[in-house]
């Protein structure tokens, strides 16, 4: 059941900050109308010892309602202590935010506004672009933490800082998230990988075309790269490389803004594409140990043709 909030709608001459709290879920949403920032914080929390990256804690979901109308332009996510000091990035397995009132384009699932792993750096769209959100939309913040130290970590908080553009701003182009999943078995986040160099594929089509303006990726340890290909021609449209340490741990994922394509990468409606993640496992096969996600900022041809969510569908 969605956490209930007292909504605070900002006016031009309104207060500097609007805050919504829910003690049961330990979430705080703060809107700064001067800096044009929205901060979502969960915690404090205790993180038990989890030595293996694939042996993480449970994924936790915290629901809340969005406070303002306008566009989200960018975000960053940090693990901090009680006074806001940064804690080690290694405590984060992944985190993200979902819009429960809008579905994805490629799959009949809830829209994921953003997703971040420990390798994800801050994201910022150009000032003329933003992800549209309305006040009172139902949202969910989800996260998974891990701790490969020898002691329990107490007092940790997850803090998401989002840059937003107020409603009424002229000339803002709608950018919607396009999540592409390489799992060959369906919508699940993880899949099996054998020992050695290997790849898998998953195909998809889109009901509405558009142009991708930015693309990033998320993979697990021992990742090499992830590709977006045109099935009919075999052309590699995008290749994102993983940068890993000597132990195979992913330290960063390549990102592209399609600087050589002024209007971005064109994806057509009803054309078949595929995602290809590549891994090189040196420690033996891993069951449910791999993931392959491409996360894109899409400017749709016509936002009015975006498929509607089916609230009666349990998926």
> What is the arithmetic mean of pLDDT over 231-253?
92
| Among 116, 147, 166, residue at a domain's last position | 166
User: How many domains does the chain contain in total?
Assistant: 2
Query: Residue 290 domain-assigned?
Result: yes
161 & 193 share domain: no
Residues 41 and 90 in one domain: yes
12 or 82: whose pLDDT is higher? Answer: 82
pLDDT at 270: 96
Shared domain check, 204 and 119 = no
| Statement to judge: residues 190 and 244 lie in one domain | yes
Residues 114 and 219 in one domain: no
Write down the pLDDT at residue 116: 83
In-domain check, residue 44? yes
Instruction: Note whether 180 and 159 are same-domain residues.
Output: no
Residue 228 in any domain: the answer is yes
Same domain, 104 and 205: no
Q: Do both 80 and 109 map to the same domain? A: yes
Neighbours of 284 (CB within 10 A): 8
Q: What percent of the chain lies above the pLDDT cut of 70?
A: 89
The encoded tokens of residue 309 equal: 């969510």
Share of the chain above pLDDT 90, in %: 49
Residue 313, class by beta-carbon neighbours within 10 Å (0-12 exposed, 13-18 middle, 19+ buried)? exposed
pLDDT at 249 over 70: yes
Query: What does the angle CA 99 – CA 100 – CA 101 come to, to the nearest 5 degrees?
Result: 90
Question: Mean of the per-residue pLDDT values for the chain?
Answer: 84
Choose one of 104, 131, 166: the last residue of a domain. Answer: 166
In this structure, are 36 and 148 located in the same domain?
yes
Domain with residue 292: its CATH number is 2.60.120.230
Determine phi and psi for 242, rounding to 5 degrees. -95, 135
> What pTM did the predictor assign?
0.75
pLDDT tens readout for residues 169-184: 999 999 999 999 998 8
Q: What whole-number distance in Å separates Cα of residue 167 and Cα of residue 208?
A: 25
Q: Residue 196 sits in which domain range? A: 175-304
């Amino acid at each position: 059941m969605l956490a209930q909030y007292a909504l605070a709608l900002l006016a031009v001459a309104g207060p500097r900050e609007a805050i919504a709290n829910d003690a049961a879920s330990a979430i705080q949403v703060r809107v700064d109308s001067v800096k044009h920032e929205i901060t979502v914080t969960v915690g404090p929390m205790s993180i038990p010892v989890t030595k293996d990256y694939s042996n993480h804690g449970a994924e936790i979901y915290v629901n809340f309602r969005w406070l303002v109308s306008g566009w989200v332009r960018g975000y960053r996510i940090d693990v901090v202590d009680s006074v806001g000091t940064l804690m080690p990035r290694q405590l984060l397995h992944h985190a993200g935010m979902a819009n429960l009132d809008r579905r994805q384009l490629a799959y009949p699932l809830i829209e994921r506004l953003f997703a971040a792993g420990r390798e994800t750096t801050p994201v910022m769209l150009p000032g003329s672009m933003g992800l549209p959100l309305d006040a009172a939309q139902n949202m969910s913040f989800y996260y998974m933490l891990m701790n490969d130290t020898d002691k329990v970590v107490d007092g940790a908080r997850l803090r998401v800082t989002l840059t937003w553009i107020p409603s009424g701003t002229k000339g803002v182009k709608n950018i919607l998230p396009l999540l592409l999943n390489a799992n060959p078995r369906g919508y699940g986040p993880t899949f099996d990988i054998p020992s050695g160099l290997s790849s898998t594929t998953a195909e998809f089509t889109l009901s509405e075309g558009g142009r991708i303006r930015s693309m990033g990726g998320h993979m697990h340890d021992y990742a090499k790269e992830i590709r977006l290909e045109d099935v009919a021609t075999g052309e590699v449209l995008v290749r994102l490389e993983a940068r890993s340490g000597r132990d195979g741990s992913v330290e960063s994922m390549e990102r592209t803004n399609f600087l050589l394509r002024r209007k971005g990468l064109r994806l057509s409606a009803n054309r078949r594409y595929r995602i290809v993640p590549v891994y090189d496992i040196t420690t033996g096969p891993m069951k449910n140990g791999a993931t392959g996600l491409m996360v894109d900022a899409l400017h749709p041809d016509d936002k009015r043709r975006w498929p509607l969510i089916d609230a009666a569908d349990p998926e």
